[in-house]
């Protein structure tokens, strides 16, 4: 179909839509964790035990909440795009490992794994021309 063949001209629009959708969802998901304060950060940071890190959970929890919240914002605007994606990938790896550790299996970990794969792919693609980075 000619209409579908021509959509390739709008790759940057597609990247913008992807960045907007995922970025907004990460802000919605991350902000309550960030607003949860030290008690919430400590609980969240306890997740690092899955990779043998059991010190200073408040720091790790804050970093995870900040990565989800501000990483979502950076995705939307396309600023510090690749560094933000690296932090988001790490956060998704830990989330997947936590689900596996709780016995949730692939079904429980699939959301984090899928997003990690999307973020990994976006590292290679870049934010597109409708972004602050414009790469």
pLDDT at 135 over 70: no
Q: Is the pLDDT of residue 123 over 70?
A: yes
CA dist., res. 133 & res. 19, Å (int):
13
Report the pLDDT value the prediction gives residue 10, as an integer from 0 to 100: 93
Q: Can you tell me the mean pLDDT for 105-116?
A: 97
The model's pLDDT over 34-93, given as tens digits with 9 standing for 90+, comes to 999 999 999 999 999 999 999 999 999 999 999 999 999 999 999 999 999 999 999 999
**Nearest-angstrom CA–CA distance, 8 and 62:** 40
- Reduced 3-state DSSP string for 14-69: HHHHHHHHHHHHHHHHHHHHHHCHHHHHHHHHHHHHHHCCCCCHHHHHHHHHHHHH
pTM passes above 0.85: yes
């Amino acid at each position: 179909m000619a209409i579908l063949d021509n959509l390739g001209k709008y790759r940057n629009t597609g990247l913008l839509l992807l960045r907007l959708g995922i970025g907004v969802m990460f802000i919605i998901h991350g902000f309550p964790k960030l607003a949860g304060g030290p008690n919430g950060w400590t609980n969240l940071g306890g997740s690092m035990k899955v990779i043998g890190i059991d010190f200073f959970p408040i720091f790790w929890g804050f970093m995870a909440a900040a990565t989800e919240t501000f990483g979502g914002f950076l995705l939307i605007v396309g600023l510090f795009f690749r560094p933000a994606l690296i932090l988001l990938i790490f956060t998704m790896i830990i989330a997947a490992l936590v689900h596996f550790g709780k016995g949730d299996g692939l079904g429980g970990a699939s959301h984090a794994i899928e997003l990690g794969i999307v973020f990994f792919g976006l590292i290679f693609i870049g934010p597109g021309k409708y972004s602050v980075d414009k790469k």
